[in-house]
Structure 1
């Protein structure tokens, strides 16, 4: 059985760094650098997910319009619609969604409310832990059979 997103959030935490659509790309860049993350969830006034803005979005718009992109509003560069998952989603579902859609960050929503975010790094870490646990079980089994 595949691990649920709820289990991942229990280990990593539920903190999500957000930004408002009217803020600037310059503020996005500062938050990404300061927090050492790759994306911010754009929220509207009701804590609903309005979009997501990532390093990729900033670089794509930088290539298109140059340095003036730093003055643009987040709403002008964010990705919409946003693909999300739920705490009940599984790692297998998440991996498939990220691979098919070529996305690296998925906000986690429950009852229309933002409750976390999962990145491709979280997926890799979880898969590594699963493999490590499986390897330990095999070693224990082999050691116990002699």
Structure 2
């Protein structure tokens, strides 16, 4: 199973981006509006300048009560791990686990084409395991 297979199975192929010059308040509104946990930070909508998540806000809220009025660029992660669509899902699972990341932008020739979350990975893996279980059950109960 490849990353593109997972992307194609998602109900929506939209990738929500936000400018680094947007406010964190606007970022939180976009997260809520689209029911997602992270946004790709992009000045042009196709490049990956960074990534920002709800966890980035929460981690800073304790030290900075005015975090909602700051710019997204001030809290984003600028060194972003990306992947290509032809990468095997198992390889991405290993990267996500090793680096403790929950969202990975998918790129092709440097352009943003999708985003994979840990939820997407788990859903796909559960589907594969259920299919295997059903196949084994069918085989065992054939007479």
Measured against the shorter chain, the TM-score band is over 0.9
How many pairs are equivalent? 142
What TM-score, normalized by structure 1, do the two folds share?
A: 0.94
Quick one: distance in 2 between partners of 1:46 and 1:127?
Answer: 30
> 1:107 and 2:105 equivalent?
yes
Cα offset, 1:110, TM superposition? 0.5
Q: CA RMSD in A?
A: 1.0
Question: Equivalent residue for 2:29?
Answer: 30
User: Can you give the 5+ residue segments of structure 1 that lack an aligned partner in the other structure?
Assistant: none
User: Can you give the 5+ residue segments of structure 2 that lack an aligned partner in the other structure?
Assistant: none
Give the 3 Å change call, closer, same or farther, for CA 59–46 of structure 1 in structure 2. Answer: closer
Question: Equivalent residue for 1:54?
Answer: 53
Quick one: distance in 2 between partners of 1:133 and 1:91?
Answer: 17
CA contact (8 A) 2:17 2:45 kept: no
Secondary structure at the residue paired with 1:65? Answer: coil
**Alignment map for 1:94-133 (pairs within 5 Å):** 94-133=92-131
Cα offset, 1:55, TM superposition? 0.7
Question: Equivalent residue for 2:8?
Answer: 10
User: Greater share of helix residues, 1 or 2?
Assistant: 1
> 1:92 and 2:90 equivalent?
yes
